[in-house]
Amino acid sequence: MIDTSELVRKLRTTGATRVALQFPEGLKRNAAGVASALKKAGFFVVISGDPCYGACDLATGLLEMVDLVVHFGHSPLDDTPCIIYDPYRMDFDPGVLGLAIPHLISTDIGLVTTVQHTHMVPAITEYFASRGITCHSAEGGTRAPDPGQVLGCSYGAARNCGQTEILFVGTGQFHPLGVQLATGARVVALDPYCRTVEVVSSERFLRRRFALIEVARKAKNFGIILTLKSGQQRRELAERLVALRDDAFLVALREVSPDELLNLGFSCYVNTACPRLAYDDQERFPVPFISPQEFEIVCGSRTFENYQIDEIT
């Protein structure tokens, strides 16, 4: 929930009078309500209408017309100035955690979740401790600084917990799949809102990626995508990949979308922007859209047995 009274209080302490609001796609419908509360409190408000999927894509361009940007739904990836974060914490009934117990085989487990629920890690740990299960949650690094926090581009907290069985608490299928691929651990995913529990299998995902790599092997040329979004930009990686083949070319752009890429006409694209684009959005692209590690397999510098999920470190 967005606590607008608390936000107004926080903004007043900064001395800002002109404020921009940036929401990820799933929270954009809150924009009008939050803007109205701030306007009533005397602030000049601008809403960023551009697409946003993470704190890797801050609306810093708006700082030309406002004092501060309030970014909702994520925690900081770096120390970009003049940004206030509201991670949009979400509670759930801890009783739902009991649904995971029959699916766990160990009494020592790793615990990971997304930023919406990291404030609940102590309560989750306590819940399992009282039932004889010890949860280990680790810090994942600067991109995901809360203990137990994972991002779609960063699974350090899962790796660092050092457990062979990991419980993911949260919504969606991508994060637990990423945890499984990044760690090789047995991963149990509990969705506390749908009240579903699943033991994650990456088999189908890997089969589809293998098929895609086989198609990519026949490509006439490769566009290596380099995004201009600073929090996703991996120039060194992109330049290293371009050097792997004579028929690979660097393509710099801001928004990575099928429409943008279609006219360029490459027969395969390699994604160095947000890792999730290559995995989640393949169906939207008319040609293979592969990860850096998949491109290495195509080039023969990595084997499929050493498949790795793409992360930004």
The residues binding ligand SF4 (CB under 6 A) are 53-54, 56, 151-153, 232, 274, 276, 312
Q: How far is the CB of 145 from ligand SF4 (least distance, A)?
A: 13
Tell me how many degrees the CA angle 109-308-265 measures, rounded to the nearest 5: 140
User: Smaller CB distance to ligand SF4: residue 80 or 267?
Assistant: 80
Q: How far is the CB of 214 from ligand SF4 (least distance, A)?
A: 26
| Nearest residue to ligand SF4, by Cβ distance, number only | 54
The residues near 81 (Cβ < 8 Å, ≥ 6 apart) are none
Q: How far is the CB of 247 from ligand SF4 (least distance, A)?
A: 27
Query: What tokens were used for 172?
Result: 């969606």
Q: Which residue has the tokens 């490769």?
A: 222
The residues near 297 (Cβ < 8 Å, ≥ 6 apart) are 213, 303, 304, 307
User: Smaller CB distance to ligand SF4: residue 45 or 312?
Assistant: 312
Ramachandran quadrant class, 162 (left: phi over 0; alpha: psi -120 to 50; beta: rest)? left
Q: How far is the CB of 132 from ligand SF4 (least distance, A)?
A: 35
User: Smaller CB distance to ligand SF4: residue 135 or 238?
Assistant: 238
Q: How far is the CB of 249 from ligand SF4 (least distance, A)?
A: 23
User: Smaller CB distance to ligand SF4: residue 94 or 231?
Assistant: 231
User: Smaller CB distance to ligand SF4: residue 261 or 274?
Assistant: 274
